Amino acid sequence: MKSTCEEVSDKLSGFVDGEIGAPAIQDITAHLEHCPDCSDKEKTQRAVKSTLTNPALRLSTPHDVRARLIRAIVRQPERLSFGALVQRLFEFQPVPAFAAVIAIVALSGLFSFWSGQRIITNTAAKEPLALLINSEMEGEVVCIDCELLAVSGTPHIHDANHRAGLRCTDGHFWNILQTDKGTELGRLENLMSKRVRVKGHIFPEQHLVDITEYSVI
Amino acid sequence: MPGKYKTAEQKRLAFEKIAFAHMDALYNTALRMTRNVLDAEDLLQDVYLRAFRFFDKFEVGTNFKAWIFRILTNTYINRYRQKIREPQRQDFNKVEFSQGDKSKSRDEKYETHYDEKLYRDLFEDEIRDALDKLSYDFRAVVLLCDIEGFSYKEIADIIGKPIGTVMSRLSRARQQLQTHLAEFARREGYVKKS
C-alpha cells in the first residue's frame, strides 16, 4: 500500500525514533526514496532532535526554589491529610478521638525529644545522604572565601564582605542558604569564629544548610 | 494515617527518596511549560504537594517519573493553562530582521534548510525561544520526548492521548521548531557577515 506525503510526514518522528513497526518502516523508506520533500522533512526531524540534546538546555533547580519546595512538603502532613482526618474523627467519634489525641500528643512529645538528640558533627558520611530535614549541625562560623584562600594558597576572589559558612569538626565546610536566618547569621560580625549549633534543613549534595534557628555554644 | 505507610515521617522519607531525584527534570519542564520563573516554581510546588498527597496510590516498582510527569501535565492544564495569558512577545529587533529577510532570495533562505551544523552554534536561549513559540500541545510532546527521553507509550500515558496522536504531534512540532530555529540561525549568519 502506498502512503501519501501527508501520512508519511505525520509518521516521520516515529520513523526517526524507532517507534514504528517493520511494515511501516518499509513503507516509509520506499516513499522517501522517490520523494525529496519528505526526505528533507526526515532530515529536519533528526536535526531538530539532535539540537535539543544540548546539555545547556538543562538547568538545575535554584537553591531557593528547592528550599521553599521542601519546606512546603515538610509542612504538608499536619496541614492537609492529618488535619482532615482528625476533623472527621471528631465529627463521628468525639470521645475516643479525644482520648487518642491525648495519647498521640504524649507519644509525639516523647518521640520529638528522642529524635531531637540527633546532632550532626561528622559530615563526611560514606554513603550518600538524603536531604535531612529539621536536623541539627554544629560548627564554627568562618568566612568561606578566607578559608579557601588559606587552603589553596592561590589568589582567590574575595568579595569586599566576608561570606559566612560553617566549619564542622571534621573540617568540612558548609555554605549557608541566604534565607532570613541565614543572612542574619552572616551579618553578625561577633559570631565569627564562634561555635554555633544550627537547626534547619541540610543539603548534603550541595553542602548547604538552610538555617531556621541557631544558637551560640 | 491510612495507606501503606505507618507514619507520616515514613511516607515523607520514602517520597523524598524517590521524588527529589526528578526535581531538575520537572523544574525544566515546568519552566518551558509556563515560560516564566515564578509560575514554574508555583507549578513545581503544586506538583510535589499533589504527588505527595497521592503517593499512597503510587505502586512501588512502576515508573515513577512517568507518574509524576502525568501529575505535572494535569496540574498545568487544570490550573495554569486558563490562567496564564500568552505573553506578548513582540520584539522589535525580530520584526526588523524578519522583514530584512524577505529581501533575500528564496534560494538563499532555504539553502541550509536542514543542516545540522547550522544549529550547532545556536545559543540555548534561542533554542528555548524557539520552543516557547510552539503551542502547548506541540511543546509538551517535544519536551517529553526529545528533552526528557520518554518513549511514545509513556508520553501517551502522560498526556492521555493515543500513540498515533503523539507521533503526529511530534512530527509537526519538530517541523515547526525547525522553521523557528532556521530563522535564528539565518539571523546569526546575517549578523556575522556584516
List pLDDT tens digits, range A119-176.
554 454 444 445 676 778 888 898 887 887 777 666 566 666 778 888 887 778 888 8
Both B117 and B169 in a single domain? yes
Locate the domains of chain A by residue range.
5-56, 63-115, 119-216
What is residue B32's three-state secondary structure?
A: helix
Report the candidate in A134, A131, A107 with the shortest Cα–Cα distance to residue A119. Answer: A134
- Chain A closest CA to B118's CA: distance in Å? 9
Q: Which of B28, B49, B168 sits opposite A76 (nearest CB)?
A: B49
Residue B176 lies in a domain: yes
Q: Which domain does B36 fall in, by range?
A: 8-80
How buried is B155 (Cβ within 10 angstroms: 0-12 exposed, 13-18 middle, 19+ buried)?
Answer: buried
Least confident interval from A125-129, A205-209, B164-168, B182-186: A125-129
For residue A17, the chain B residues in CB contact (below 8 A) are 145, 152, 170
Both B189 and B99 in a single domain? yes
How far apart are the C-alpha atoms of A114 and A47, rounded to whole Å?
59
Say yes or no for a CB contact (<8 Å) between A66 and B15. Answer: no
Residue B96 lies in a domain: yes
Least confident interval from A149-158, A160-169, B11-20, B147-156: A149-158
Both B19 and B110 in a single domain? no
Both B118 and B62 in a single domain? no
* Interface membership of A63 toward B (CB under 8 Å): no
Model ipTM? Answer: 0.75
Both B24 and B68 in a single domain? yes
The half-sphere exposure of B47 on its side-chain side, counting CA atoms within 13 A, is: 30
| Residue B184 clears pLDDT 60, i.e. is over it | yes
Predicted pLDDT at A76: 59
Q: Who wins on pLDDT, A99 or B101?
A: A99
* Interface membership of B48 toward A (CB under 8 Å): yes
> What cell was used for B186?
539565518
B193 pLDDT band, cuts 50/70/90, is very low
B106 pLDDT band, cuts 50/70/90, is very low
How far apart are the C-alpha atoms of B82 and B194, rounded to whole Å?
44
Give the list of residues 6+ apart from residue A97 with CB closer than 8 angstroms, or none.
Answer: A86, A89, A90
Q: Which helix (H) or strand (E) is A143 found in, with range?
A: strand A132-143
Percent of chain A scoring above 90 in pLDDT: 20
Report which DSSP code applies to A214: E
Residue B85 lies in a domain: no
Residue B64 lies in a domain: yes
* Interface membership of B16 toward A (CB under 8 Å): yes
Cβ atoms of A40 and A5 closer than 8 Å: no
Q: How many domains does chain B have?
A: 2
Both B19 and B100 in a single domain? no
Q: Who wins on pLDDT, A39 or B101?
A: A39
User: Rounded to two decimals, what is the model's pTM?
Assistant: 0.62
How far apart are the C-alpha atoms of B37 and B32, rounded to whole Å?
9
Predicted pLDDT at A157: 63
